[in-house]
Amino acid sequence: MEENQTVANTPEYHLTSPTQTPINFTIQLSENPATTPEGYEFIISGSEPETGKTKTEQYYLPGKDHQAYLYFFEKLARDFGLRLPQNKPETFSKPSFQASLQEVLSKNLNPDILYGYGDPAVIQVKDEQDEGQPKYYLVATSNDAPHAFPIIRSNNLWDWEFVNFVFPEGQKPAWAANGALISDYWAPEMHQFGEEFRIYFVARDKHTHELCIGKAHSPRPDGPFVPDPEPILRGNVIDPHVYVQDAETAYLYWKEDNNAVWPSELIALLYQHPKLITALFPNREDQITATFMVTLWPWLQTREPMERFLITQVFIESIIVRYLTFYEDLKKLGQQQTADVQEQLQKVLHFMKTPVYAQQLSPDGSGLIGEKVKIIQNDLAWEAHLVEGIWVTRQQDKYYLFYAGNDFSTDQYGIGVAIADSPLGPFRKMETPFLQSTTEWWAPGHPSVTTDPDGKPVLILHAYFPEQAGYKQFRAILAAHVTFTPDMVMLD
């Protein structure tokens, strides 16, 4: 196999496809060149898809954001036959799912809220200064914004005001990473425990950059919040949810973020054993896409986690459109390989499942007691490579677990439901998505459950404007009234 070569100690890479790949690319890559100081310059040679003749094209990425990469891969699809990104206009199909979703908030209430209200978690709090009337408090994802986790407040669920940030600029946890495309402040939840309010959230460790679950506390729902000195849970874990059963017992739910791991593990395997590309990808455009990623691998593995996702998204899409079939093909292929390849394939297969776990919280909420229990994992076709964004609510004598599945940045993302007799399961999933993209709203996800001022159950969720799904794109808050039965949840 011909080794890819990197110019040491410079921001330039000279990359060549390994031998035994279905096609060949050569890539000259310059980081932060004078022409695009915030992005990259690529000079790529490969086969013209219609004639097979070798050609060379030059590309400038003006930045490292999601839209820049989508535009880059759209051009690569046309020039060299790679798969076209799923959320480019040519691949859109008008969603057929119909749902009555009420718009709650579709603008930033404060100039320091940069990306809207992803992963909205809402609770009701009695306002002692207002004769005990309940108020709604909502916290949301902030990604890599300088100010982390906006807190907003409402008297009626429909009219909201900005209150504060959980961590204003300069006050983020000492253990957590901070910076553009480095820090990921995701999925906060606020819960009341007696006279204390606790925030559970996701951030990256500043040394390892692994995703961790942290905790902060305050005597007031509007803060200020003081973070614990260390995460309460490490190990590439996200989307903490807390179900408060009673004054003595609460459970933490979380997801292992394995979908951020398996694409790199698979590309690394294909880089070492490129002949597997043809066996795993019968479609020609997917073979070309996989070869391109393999060629990029010596540089790709140096990127920060979220940028690596943006680069590999089109490769991921080539797999999740037939996810269950690909998973089974990978298992069968492993039976025909040498022991070392089998071991690598088993590692990829392991990370292609994203289990959700639950475990009882310690009384102070800063640790876990007892044993963790696997609640659900991705095993339905519509979920593809992940389940995430959990919220558990008890209605009558049943426990309803809402979760999201598929790719958050496309119209394939949606919400599922699983039902159990206990907060630790076993949970039985509804076979089809409870909520999917509509013509008005894309990628509904990560809901929370409360009651409206009339006492009716209502789902609070996020969604993108049509054709505007993507990392750090604006997400609005929507509401949907729901009815619970022993066997299912229905939209009103």
Instruction: Give the DSSP letter string of 223-291.
Output: ---EE-SS-SB-SSEEEEEEEE-SSS-EEEEEEE-GGGTHHHHHHHHHHH-TTHHHHH--SHHHHHHHH
* 279 DSSP β-pair partners: none
Q: Look up residue 298 and give its amino acid.
A: P
The per-residue pLDDT for 130 is: 63
The per-residue pLDDT for 131 is: 66
Q: Which residues contact 346 (CB under 8 A, 6 or more apart)?
A: 334
Instruction: Extract the residue ranges of the chain whose pLDDT is less than 70.
Output: 1-10, 89, 91-92, 128-132
Q: Please choose, from the candidates 240, 150, 164, 257, the residue with its C-alpha nearest in 3D space to the C-alpha of residue 202.
A: 240
Q: Which residues contact 64 (CB under 8 A, 6 or more apart)?
A: 38, 39, 40, 181, 307, 310
The per-residue pLDDT for 35 is: 81
The answer on 234 and 150 residing in a single domain is yes
CATH number at residue 162: 2.115.10.20
pLDDT digits (tens, 9 = 90+) for 214-270: 999 999 999 999 999 999 999 999 999 999 998 889 999 999 999 999 999 999 999
**Is 390 a domain residue?**
yes
The answer on 169 and 293 residing in a single domain is no
**Is 253 a domain residue?**
yes
**112 annotated active-site:** no
**Is 487 a domain residue?**
yes
Q: Look up residue 273 and give its amino acid.
A: H
- Give the separation between CA 85 and CA 102, rounded to whole angstroms: 30
Q: Are strands 428-429 and 442-451 parallel, antiparallel or unpaired?
A: unpaired
Catalytic choice (119, 256, 257, 383) = 119
Provide the residue count of the chain.
492
**Is 181 a domain residue?**
yes
| pTM recorded for the entire structure | 0.94
Domain end point (choices 351, 379, 414): 351
The answer on 485 and 390 residing in a single domain is yes
The per-residue pLDDT for 11 is: 79
The answer on 36 and 161 residing in a single domain is no
Instruction: Please count the structural domains in the chain.
Output: 2
Domain that holds residue 358: 102-257+354-491
Domain end point (choices 309, 332, 351): 351
**Is 430 a domain residue?**
yes
- Give the separation between CA 203 and CA 185, rounded to whole angstroms: 5
**Is 97 a domain residue?**
no
Residue 292 is inside which H or E element, if any? helix 284-300
The answer on 437 and 372 residing in a single domain is yes
Quick one: DSSP state of residue 116? B
The answer on 290 and 421 residing in a single domain is no
- Give the separation between CA 170 and CA 172, rounded to whole angstroms: 6
Domain end point (choices 322, 351, 380): 351
**119 annotated active-site:** yes
The answer on 37 and 16 residing in a single domain is yes
The number of C-alpha atoms within 13 Å of 222 and in the hemisphere containing its C-beta is 11
The answer on 47 and 28 residing in a single domain is yes
Beta strands, E only, 345-397? 356-361, 368-376, 387-395
Rg (CA), the chain: 23
The answer on 117 and 54 residing in a single domain is no
The answer on 418 and 282 residing in a single domain is no
The answer on 33 and 52 residing in a single domain is yes
Angle at 351 between CA 348 and CA 354, to 5 degrees: 155
Q: Roughly what angle, to the nearest 10 degrees, separates helices 305-320 and 66-80?
A: 50
The answer on 274 and 235 residing in a single domain is no
**Is 96 a domain residue?**
no
